[in-house]
Structure 1
Amino acid sequence: MFTRFGRHSASQNSSLARVRASGSLARHNPPSCFTYPGLRSRYASFQAGENQSGHINAGPNEGILFFDNVSPMKIQKYLGFPMTFPDKAPGFLSYFISPSMTGTEPSKIIKNAATKSNLSIRATETLWRLKEGGAFVKFTHGGDASLSEVEKVLQQYLTDHPIKPWWSPLQGMSVSLVKGRPWVEDLFRLPTPRLRVEFVAPEPGSEPVELSQEKLYEFFRPYGKLNDIVVQPPDSKVLPRFAYLDYADMRTAVVARNCMHGFVIGETEGGGKSGTLLRLKYERKIKAHWIRDWIVNHPRIVVPILAAIVAGITVAVFDPIRTFFVKAHITRVLNIQENSWYKWIVGYATDFIPWHHKSRDDDGMEAVWDDRKQNIEQIQTWLMETADTFIIVQGPRGSGKRELVVDQALKDRKHKLVIDCKPIQEARGESATINAAAAGVGYKPVFSWLNNLSGMIDLAAQGATGVKTGFSETLDSQLAKIWNTTGTALRQIALDQRHKDDKDAHLPDDEWLEAHPDLRPVVVIDNFLHKSQEGGVVYDKISDWAARLTTSNIAHVVFLTHDVAYTKSLSKALPDRVFHQIPLSDCSPHVAKKFVLRHLDADVADDPAPKDGSPKEVPSETRTDLQELDTCIDLLGGRLTDLEFLARRIKTGETPTKAVHEIIDQSASEILKMYIFGIDDAESRNWSPEQAWLLIKKLAEEESLRYNEILLDDTFKSNGEKTLRALEQVELISIVSSPSGRPSLIKPGKPVYHPAFKRLTKDSVLRSRLDLAVLTELVKVENATIEKCEGELLRLSDIEGRPALIAGRVQYLLAKLAKSQRAIEKYELEMGACKKVLSREH
């Protein structure tokens, strides 16, 4: 068992004598202070062994003990890398880990044990092992007891008097006899629970023996619980031969390494003729990429878990934040202009700075609101009712729908949300659509850019695993998430108005919301069905969400639309409801004139008074050219945007007649650019220039056309209804429905378009050019008819015997062919006249 000490006793004695003579090894009897690196001590440090050799030796009647748990094991890891100069460590550590303070001084333990057991042992030197949390103690004994008896006495003493320092309250100190020749190094190699045991020859030229698992267990199990013993594969050519010992606890591995390193197994113990020397070192288990490898090898498990984690974080962290911002957007609590102090300061400053006041853009609208007072009161009445249906305000663009609802009917409503569908529908790409929808309701933060990235990840993972990961979200799911969060915020806003002192405060939330329709927020959806022919994903989501709001009594919903076919889209969301509808038309001539006059007089209050003290001049009373307004408004119509444009031009000094003619000329130019010449790509529109020109020419002659009469025209034989709906969508025409709901009449898209159509048809060159194009298309149609008739007649002529039964069909085809021929001749005469005009005029 102690072969190593017996074989090298002479050399150990000489080495120890040299060390003592040189004074490099401090001695104390008994030691009054532990040798601590970095602490104030009169003793040297032996982190690298005696004479920095890496070894410590024992002479006759000497032995070496290893005390465990003397200090925190990982302290060197936190103090430095590595601790090359331990003497320069902070001095304040002595108050926390000094053996004299913690009661873990090995020399004192040896002294107390010797006193109680009457054993002649004395500690001579102590070597601190900072990174292993222990210490080597060299001791002398009188020879009356063996080293194993000394070990048992000390172990029994620590069992009877356990010492548990503050860093290890459950596991106390332990002591073991060093059986080998320990290697004391100051390398930055931290302990691990795994030991690598190498079998080497104690002398050159001899052959070591590889120990079996049973022998390894016999030698190393006394130091602690072993989890596993892994021997080297038989076919391995790695030398020296080795085995792995996996301890259950790191401290037991430290004790085994320090006590058994350099131990020589004799022949009687299975070490061969010349013995086998054990060389131990800490071995780290290879764990560099096991997490990554497991994730890569189990994507079917990992990817759904990651998706669930991301979804959970989103719900737990971001959803409350987004709900807060949506509520702030609706209640405007973060808007400084809504603050009462800000309003007071602005009002107080305005009293001292009168020129700060500016005229509003809606000057003159009072006349319109007086005319539409009944509509305003009707909307306000509906908002006080519990009917769970939509309120729909339909009218052409520029008829003042938004101003009527938001500025008038909802003027006193504190909680209202206006969602404009125009920027959402016109956004390019899914990310832009999501951003526009989120901005409309104040939904933030929004990570729309992650949608494309997650889509690529989902596609790659699906190609690798064969299943969808769920990372990517479609536009439908993203929009649904935005609307659902907005619905949650609206519900919270409505319920925040309930007080515990109310009589019905005990009612459940749903019943309380149903009982208080006047406290529900109002959602205004503007520009509904804007460019609806380009896709209805956004509108379907909005209408379904609006239906949930109304049926759940969360909010009132008001739709503002110019599309007359809105019932087709909204009936999908609420198929069993009758909508509250308010149709808006253009103003009457009387209201239109009052609007223009009030708009002209709006700036008089802000103009400085004349220096001579005379009263201010009111344009409606002083300008003589305003008598032309009656005639001009008959031409311009009652569209509010056109009337405002007229008033602004009159303000600049133009006469009403000149202003109206300028507006008509501008509208004529817009018509040519937008519907005739401006679109070169036929795929980007659902009508041809010839179809648009035919409607322009007919509407110039009559103010309205019969819907079905236009469909019977040869120019509209192919997809006639689709073409008319497309032209209505772009506002060239407007389609008026009968009381039963069927399309009945076709009118110009704006009142000003009627004189603009007349202006265009008076241009002989333009009319001849476009008529020529229309006639060319008609000739193509008749030629196609003739070609079809001739082909059928040719097939009939191939019938043998030419039976009399086909005579009627032949006469029918011949009559139809003759009719088409007469039409072609007529069209060609008209084409000739058009060509003459084009050839002589410019």
Structure 2
Amino acid sequence: MQATRRVFFNPTSVPSLRTRRPQTRDFYNAGHLARVGLRGNGVRASRWRGVRRESTETGEDSTGHITAHSNEGILFFDNLFPLKLHWILRLPFRGERSLSDLLVRFNNQTLGSYEPLSMVKKALPASIPLKVTEILPRLKDGGAFVKFSHPDGITAKEIEELVAAYLRENPIKPWFNPFHRIRSNLVVGKPWLEDLYRFPSRRIKVEFCPTSPETQAAELSQETLYSLFRRYGKIAEITAQSSESKVLPKFAYVDFAKIRHAIMAKNCMHSFTVLKQAGGGEAGTVIRLSFEQTMKAHWIRDWIVNHPRVTIPIIAAFIATVTVAVFDPIRTFFIKAHIDHAFRIKDNSIYKWFKSQATDIFTFRSRRTEEVGLGAIWEDRKETIDQLQTWLQETADTFIVVQGPRGSGKKELIFEQALKGRKNTLLIDCKPIQDAHGDSATISAAAMAVGYRPVFSWMNSISSMVDLAAQGTIGVKSGFSETLDAQLAKIWQNTATALKQVALDHRNKDEKDASLADDDWLEAHPECRPVVVIDNFLHKNEDSSVVYDKISEWAAGLTTANIAHVIFLTNDISYSKSLSKALPDRVFRQMALGDITPEVAKKFVITHLDADDDDAPGEGEKLSASQRRRDLSQLDECIETLGGRLTDLEFFARRLKTGQTPKRAVSEIIEQSASEIMKMYLLTVDKGEKKWSPEQAWYLVKSLAEDESLRYNEVLLSNTFASSLSPSASNGESVLEALSAAELITIKSYKGRPQSIKAGRPVYQAAFQMLCEDKVLKSRLDLAILTELTKIETKNIDKYETELNTLGSLPKQPPEVGPRVQFLLSKLAGSQTKVEGWEKEMGALKKVLMDEF
């Protein structure tokens, strides 16, 4: 059905622009303005008057096309609408009325003469013989189609030239694009008025289609395409389809320098038929045009994936830069707060007030007992404490090593006496760092020790997998993952920076040496340097460890740069081997802490007993707990057995508080120690995990039970240590160092060399004697030693016999062989004598095991 209507060239008369008659349309109808006719009045009314069929933005009868009959033509005007309005078409809630309202508000502005459809009217002067029959605005293309009719005496091509010449002489520039004028070209093809979600771009895809299904299209050359499209604007590139491509129909890409030139070409040349004379083949070729996005949707992602050798190192460098620029200042801040205890609640004045107020309600007996008990120790070690405090005030590089067995009070001596009242202290415990399983756990433990946060230790495993995948893909490491050595170095470096800032915070601008450089000022003020205490250094006595090596190197850097004082607390007597690698040209300030004397030990125990004695019976003179006890006469004998180890003395004092007599308490401590020795050293089921054999441990226990001190070299020369059959215990010196680290024994040095061997703890001496008094246990372990010695001598006998057989097989016996034969025979006889003697002893021991329980 066709409906006739006379329309006037006025945007408000266009049905789709009327606000009083709202219309609705489908969501996917992304068309633009309704196709409108024109009408006018006055002098020019005749040339704007016409009768047409009702059409929409999708063409006549929604076919997507408009047709031009004889004496008709179609012009396309560009630059009528801003191309930036594309986003309106993407909105899912945009309706026809919303667009109409937008244009109505625009039309009501003062710039009425620059309205889009008014500019079309201005572009067609009265001198050109044409009659406009309808206009079809195209918002997403930024222009409009103008259909016109013309008399027989003039062609559409001539009208195109007249309009183009008029626009060149009288340029019309829209308000939104004042630097470019409106252009017009004749539509020579059959435009496709699609309302799809396809938006203009500089690239046009030209498909070569046949004129009919029976014919074949020709693939146009670049010269032909250039001659067809150059009239619409400058062409940047023409790209032909790959010869290997099987895609049909054949196509080519035409890239314009400007997007409006591409829009003009697409709207004017779509469905244009290239004849044979122009290179279109026998039956001609129809070119169908469509916009092609020059950039793919995921071109950045594709480029990154396709160029891993470039992108992966760049990403790694970017992540490292961000980490340094963003996280390092945060981490340094938290390390500083950890050093100066800024967030420690115990140092808060409010917390201290509440604690003082609650003292009357809650009694902190255990802590007070420890403080009172240790007071006796500090009086005895006052000279050592004063020496430590003096070293911390000297300007020389302070590198202090405090060595002593476990339980000798090293940590308490440093923090409760030498560093008492000093805020800027940092404690680094090597034990949790070294005992951590895996790189991530080690990094977390090291970070926790210094307050380094945030720490992404879990990223280490992920980075390692990414690095491994990248190495398998591109052949080289990406650099994402870092070794444990590098990560620990980063933690210690941040800590050193924080320590230096903490030291420089004491600097006053008004002091006389404020103008000194940072290093010079730190050297001149040793009292302002923080103190770093490294506890449990070499607690596992390992020959090589990344943790110990990095800590010692870092500590050496702190001392040489005058950033901080460093104090090492260690149980190992061979600490000089590890520290000498970091500071080969320095002499350490060494301090050895041993067991306390019997007099101080007795005072320590009595102080513990009297610490919590608040009330005494009776109304007369009050007696202390130690004075009320009648069994303290045994104290001297018990302390002599127990020794001067603080942990053992404290355990002894606690047993006395429960009401036990001194002899009973010491007896139970010795029994407990003997059980620990059997479990840990003598009855080891898993021999592979230990660096010693049970026979070697029992040899030391038995020997020390008879003599409190053994010669170091004498032990090494014994058969049990020199010729052990256990692969893990074949090196005697390594065995003794491992047993010393495990605290079964203590190795005493003289002028830097190991001299003697003693029990690891004083109470162990009595425990050794108790173990040797057990006839069954002694027989069992002696039998194991004799069995091993017999095996060793049996191997020697086999070796002697083999050599004698070799010598006896010689055809002649030269005189030079005689002494060797005599030597082997004497060795053979001696070994046989030993084996026979051991066999007798083994028989007696087996009889004991058979008879005794």
For normalisation by structure 1, the TM-score amounts to 0.88
- Distance in 2 (CA, whole Å) between partners of 1:47 and 1:341 is 78
Match of 2:253 in 1: 244
Match of 1:48 in 2: 58
Match of 1:5 in 2: none
Are the equivalent residues in 1 in contact too, given 2:80–2:119 (CA < 8 A)? no
- Out of 814, 823, 827, the residue aligned to residue 816 of structure 1 is 827
Are the equivalent residues in 1 in contact too, given 2:12–2:18 (CA < 8 A)? no
Match of 1:690 in 2: 695
User: In 2 relative to 1, CA 47–799 (structure 1 residues): closer, same or farther, beyond 3 Å?
Assistant: same
Match of 1:749 in 2: 760
Match of 2:461 in 1: 452
Are the equivalent residues in 2 in contact too, given 1:604–1:617 (CA < 8 A)? no
- Distance in 2 (CA, whole Å) between partners of 1:19 and 1:840 is 127
User: In 2 relative to 1, CA 598–234 (structure 1 residues): closer, same or farther, beyond 3 Å?
Assistant: closer
The alignment status of 1:355 with 2:355, answered yes or no, reads: no
Q: CA deviation at 1:73?
A: 2.5
Aligned pairs for 1:92-171 within 5 A: 104-113=114-123, 125-138=134-147, 146-153=158-165, 155-156=167-168, 159=171, 161-165=172-176, 171=180
Match of 1:666 in 2: 672
The alignment status of 1:720 with 2:728, answered yes or no, reads: no
State the superposition RMSD in angstroms: 3.3
CA displacement 1:166-223 (0-9 Å, x = unmatched) = xx57656544443433221211122222212334466776776654433322231122
CA displacement 1:263-318 (0-9 Å, x = unmatched) = 44567766678765443222345836655555455443333223222222222222
User: In 2 relative to 1, CA 300–624 (structure 1 residues): closer, same or farther, beyond 3 Å?
Assistant: same
User: In 2 relative to 1, CA 713–196 (structure 1 residues): closer, same or farther, beyond 3 Å?
Assistant: closer
SS of residue paired to 2:318: helix
Q: CA deviation at 1:783?
A: 2.4
Match of 1:470 in 2: 479
The alignment status of 1:409 with 2:418, answered yes or no, reads: yes
- Out of 83, 102, 122, the residue aligned to residue 73 of structure 1 is 83
- Distance in 2 (CA, whole Å) between partners of 1:271 and 1:38 is 47
The alignment status of 1:496 with 2:519, answered yes or no, reads: no
Q: CA deviation at 1:565?
A: 0.6
Q: CA deviation at 1:40?
A: 7.7
- Distance in 2 (CA, whole Å) between partners of 1:411 and 1:34 is 92
CA displacement 1:704-726 (0-9 Å, x = unmatched) = 11112212222121422221111
Are the equivalent residues in 1 in contact too, given 2:123–2:167 (CA < 8 A)? no
Are the equivalent residues in 2 in contact too, given 1:192–1:283 (CA < 8 A)? yes
- Distance in 2 (CA, whole Å) between partners of 1:542 and 1:130 is 71
Q: Name stretches of at least 5 consecutive residues in structure 2 with no aligned partner.
A: 23-32, 36-55, 724-730
Are the equivalent residues in 1 in contact too, given 2:710–2:756 (CA < 8 A)? yes
Match of 2:223 in 1: 214
- Distance in 2 (CA, whole Å) between partners of 1:268 and 1:751 is 116
- Distance in 1 (CA, whole Å) between partners of 2:76 and 2:463 is 58
Q: Which moved more, 1:205-214 or 1:48-57?
A: 205-214
SS of residue paired to 2:761: coil
SS of residue paired to 2:762: coil
CA displacement 1:780-829 (0-9 Å, x = unmatched) = 22223333333333333334443333333333322222222222232222
Match of 1:10 in 2: none
Match of 1:807 in 2: 818
User: In 2 relative to 1, CA 622–465 (structure 1 residues): closer, same or farther, beyond 3 Å?
Assistant: same
Q: CA deviation at 1:487?
A: 1.2
Q: Which moved more, 1:255-264 or 1:587-596?
A: 255-264
Q: CA deviation at 1:99?
A: 8.6
Q: CA deviation at 1:413?
A: 1.6
Match of 1:637 in 2: 643
- Distance in 2 (CA, whole Å) between partners of 1:262 and 1:99 is 39
Match of 1:769 in 2: 780
The alignment status of 1:618 with 2:599, answered yes or no, reads: no
SS of residue paired to 1:287: coil
Structure 2 letter corresponding to 1:28: F
SS of residue paired to 1:70: coil
User: In 2 relative to 1, CA 244–581 (structure 1 residues): closer, same or farther, beyond 3 Å?
Assistant: same
SS of residue paired to 2:758: strand
Match of 1:798 in 2: 809
- Distance in 2 (CA, whole Å) between partners of 1:216 and 1:680 is 90
- Distance in 1 (CA, whole Å) between partners of 2:686 and 2:366 is 45
The alignment status of 1:733 with 2:739, answered yes or no, reads: no
Q: Which moved more, 1:131-140 or 1:831-840?
A: 131-140
Are the equivalent residues in 1 in contact too, given 2:83–2:142 (CA < 8 A)? yes
Are the equivalent residues in 1 in contact too, given 2:80–2:174 (CA < 8 A)? no
User: In 2 relative to 1, CA 824–278 (structure 1 residues): closer, same or farther, beyond 3 Å?
Assistant: closer
Q: CA deviation at 1:501?
A: 2.2
Are the equivalent residues in 2 in contact too, given 1:772–1:834 (CA < 8 A)? yes
Q: CA deviation at 1:101?
A: 6.1
User: In 2 relative to 1, CA 158–431 (structure 1 residues): closer, same or farther, beyond 3 Å?
Assistant: farther
Q: CA deviation at 1:667?
A: 0.2
Are the equivalent residues in 2 in contact too, given 1:193–1:246 (CA < 8 A)? yes
Are the equivalent residues in 2 in contact too, given 1:38–1:89 (CA < 8 A)? no
CA displacement 1:664-698 (0-9 Å, x = unmatched) = 10000000000001x22322112111111111111
The alignment status of 1:653 with 2:659, answered yes or no, reads: yes
The alignment status of 1:29 with 2:9, answered yes or no, reads: yes
SS of residue paired to 2:816: helix
Structure 2 letter corresponding to 1:528: F
- Distance in 1 (CA, whole Å) between partners of 2:563 and 2:720 is 50
- Distance in 2 (CA, whole Å) between partners of 1:275 and 1:505 is 92
Are the equivalent residues in 1 in contact too, given 2:75–2:160 (CA < 8 A)? no
Aligned pairs for 1:284-299 within 5 A: 284-285=293-294, 287=296, 291=300, 294-299=303-308
Percent identity, aligned pairs only, is 55
Are the equivalent residues in 2 in contact too, given 1:31–1:124 (CA < 8 A)? no
Match of 1:8 in 2: none
SS of residue paired to 1:362: helix
Aligned pairs for 1:199-598 within 5 A: 199-200=208-209, 211-232=220-241, 240-265=249-274, 276-285=285-294, 287=296, 291=300, 294-347=303-356, 349-350=357-358, 353-355=360-362, 357-360=364-367, 362-363=370-371, 364-533=373-542, 535-598=544-607
For normalisation by structure 2, the TM-score amounts to 0.87
- Distance in 1 (CA, whole Å) between partners of 2:622 and 2:132 is 116
Q: CA deviation at 1:646?
A: 1.0
Q: CA deviation at 1:637?
A: 0.8
The alignment status of 1:789 with 2:797, answered yes or no, reads: no
- Distance in 1 (CA, whole Å) between partners of 2:15 and 2:394 is 89
Structure 2 letter corresponding to 1:805: E
Q: CA deviation at 1:581?
A: 0.8
- Distance in 2 (CA, whole Å) between partners of 1:94 and 1:622 is 108
- Distance in 1 (CA, whole Å) between partners of 2:619 and 2:198 is 101
Q: Which moved more, 1:727-736 or 1:73-82?
A: 73-82
User: In 2 relative to 1, CA 36–433 (structure 1 residues): closer, same or farther, beyond 3 Å?
Assistant: farther
- Distance in 2 (CA, whole Å) between partners of 1:377 and 1:800 is 81
Structure 1 letter corresponding to 2:331: R
Q: CA deviation at 1:261?
A: 2.0
Q: CA deviation at 1:122?
A: 7.4
Are the equivalent residues in 2 in contact too, given 1:265–1:277 (CA < 8 A)? yes
Are the equivalent residues in 1 in contact too, given 2:266–2:289 (CA < 8 A)? yes
SS of residue paired to 2:396: coil
- Distance in 1 (CA, whole Å) between partners of 2:312 and 2:119 is 57
Equivalences, count: 811
CA displacement 1:336-392 (0-9 Å, x = unmatched) = 333333333443x336x5336454162311111111111111111111112224100
- Distance in 1 (CA, whole Å) between partners of 2:123 and 2:62 is 31
- Distance in 2 (CA, whole Å) between partners of 1:82 and 1:262 is 31
CA displacement 1:422-444 (0-9 Å, x = unmatched) = 11111112221121111111122
Structure 2 letter corresponding to 1:711: L
Match of 1:86 in 2: 96
Q: Which moved more, 1:395-404 or 1:371-380?
A: 371-380
